[in-house]
Amino acid sequence: MHQEGNRVDNPAAYLHLGFIEISLPNLALVAGMVVLFAIAIVVPFPREGGRRGGGR
């Protein structure tokens, strides 16, 4: 338990690319958000009664 706490408290690994400096957890989060955004655009939204176009 104590060791696990120490492991979690360790500083995250960082990516250094020129002037870009970002922790890997933050990079993974941003990548996940981009993927989620792309999925939201591509995946069709379920329509009422299965027909195409809900309309007003």
Q: Does 1 participate in binding other proteins (rule CB under 8 A)? A: no
Q: Does 5 participate in binding other proteins (rule CB under 8 A)? A: no
Separation of alpha carbons 53 and 46, rounded Å: 10
Neighbours of 16 (CB within 10 A): 8
What is residue 52's three-state secondary structure? coil
Q: Does 33 participate in binding other proteins (rule CB under 8 A)? A: yes
Q: Smallest distance, Å, CB 44 to other proteins?
A: 8
* Contacts to other proteins by CB under 8 A: 29, 33, 36-37, 39-41, 43, 45, 47, 53-56
